[in-house]
């Protein structure tokens, strides 16, 4: 009977664990194995173990492009997070101003980019907004008499284009999270702060931001991961099969994917994947305190 009670929780979670084991854990281990082989298109089944050569190639040779991709990814994550939090904070503050009667309507309209399927949004932006011939941006430029710009053909404009799109897609979530958190801040703090003569800036620095920090930490960490992992935007905007736009922008994720499915360099791609995974583990250990579980 005691043994049975002990086994019960395991039996309950068994189906889920089997599923996770097959789809998440095993592929990661298998990726680890591939990373020490020379598997590629020509060595599909007669590959052999070559040790850490792939890692060496990824991390030590600058022309492998991986180091550059790391730089791009870090910059991408930091810039996006700063802009996202700052912009969302002010919009959420605006939404919570007393007497703004239409705030519910605004909130709903602002949620649309989040509700849209991500790949649909990206493809709509690629053709509808950024396209050189019939994108909206260039139509506006032509109407104003300025010559057309090719937004996605070079790295810096492509990076900015991707970032604008990412902000468009990710801001609603942030706005909603901050808006929700703002409503949980005790109003009486502001009353007494006003009595003490604290202005808008002081109220924000001393009351709002400290109060929001613990509530928002999980959402911010989650978003940081999503931003870091962002693949669709860069891939769909600039490097779809058969319609490369000319920019060579790579994040580490697109770099790994391109090596696996375009240049068929499975060993190298797997080595890169494992390196990224190690990064993520280290990063998680740092942020773990934010998502501590109460037991």
* Binding to other proteins in span 36-95, by CB under 8 A: 91, 94-95
Q: Which residue number, 147 or 187, has a Cβ lying nearer to other proteins?
A: 147
Residues in contact with other proteins, total (CB under 8 A)? 94
Neighbour tally for 222: CB within 10 Å: 15
Which C-beta is closer to other proteins: that of 71 or that of 180? 180
Question: Please, what is the minimum distance in Å from the beta carbon of residue 243 to other proteins?
Answer: 7
Select the residue interacting with other proteins from 115, 156, 195, 201 (CB under 8 A). 115
- 6 lies in the binding site for other proteins (CB under 8 A): yes
The one segment of 16-24, 70-78, 153-161, 198-206 that binds other proteins by CB under 8 A: 16-24
CB nearer to other proteins: pick between 36 and 219: 219
**Alpha-carbon distance 246 to 238, whole Å?**
7
Residue window 120-159: x/- pattern of binding to other proteins, with contact defined by CB under 8 A: xx-xxx-xxx---xx-x-xxx-xx----------------
Q: How many CA atoms lie within 13 A of 182 on its CB side?
A: 19
List the x/- string, 166-185, binding to other proteins by CB under 8 A. --x-------xx--x-----
Which of the residues 203 through 242 are near other proteins (CB under 8 A)?
215, 217-219, 222, 225, 229, 231-232, 240-242
Residues of span 272-291 touching other proteins by CB under 8 A: 273, 276-277, 280-281, 284, 288, 291
The residue whose two tokens read 């949004």 is 121
CB nearer other proteins, residue 25 or residue 205 = 25
């Amino acid at each position: 009977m005691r043994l049975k009670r002990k086994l019960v929780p395991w039996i309950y979670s068994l189906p889920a664990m089997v599923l996770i084991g097959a789809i998440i854990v095993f592929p990661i281990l298998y990726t680890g194995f591939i990373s020490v082989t020379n598997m590629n298109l020509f060595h599909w089944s007669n590959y052999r173990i070559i040790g850490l050569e792939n890692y060496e190639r990824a991390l030590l040779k600058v022309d492998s492009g991986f180091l550059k991709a790391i730089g791009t990814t870090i910059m991408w994550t930091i810039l996006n997070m700063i802009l996202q939090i700052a912009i969302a904070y002010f919009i959420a503050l605006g939404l919570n101003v007393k007497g703004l009667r239409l705030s519910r309507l605004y909130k709903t309209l602002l949620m649309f980019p989040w509700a849209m399927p991500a790949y649909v949004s990206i493809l709509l932006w690629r053709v509808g907004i950024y396209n050189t011939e019939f994108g909206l941006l260039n139509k506006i430029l032509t109407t104003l008499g300025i010559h057309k710009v090719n937004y996605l053909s070079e790295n810096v404009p492509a990076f900015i284009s991707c970032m604008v799109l990412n902000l468009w897609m990710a801001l609603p979530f942030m706005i909603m999270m901050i808006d929700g958190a703002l409503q949980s801040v005790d109003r009486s703090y502001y009353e007494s702060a006003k009595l003490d003569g604290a202005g808008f800036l002081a109220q924000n620095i001393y009351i709002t931001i400290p109060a929001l920090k613990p509530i928002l930490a999980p959402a911010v960490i989650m978003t940081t991961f999503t931003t870091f992992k962002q693949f669709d935007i860069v891939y769909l905007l600039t490097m779809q099969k058969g319609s490369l736009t000319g920019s060579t922008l790579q994040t580490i994720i697109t770099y790994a994917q391109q090596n696996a499915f375009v240049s068929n360099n499975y060993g190298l791609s797997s080595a890169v994947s494992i390196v990224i995974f190690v990064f993520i583990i280290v990063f998680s250990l740092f942020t773990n305190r934010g998502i501590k579980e109460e037991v």
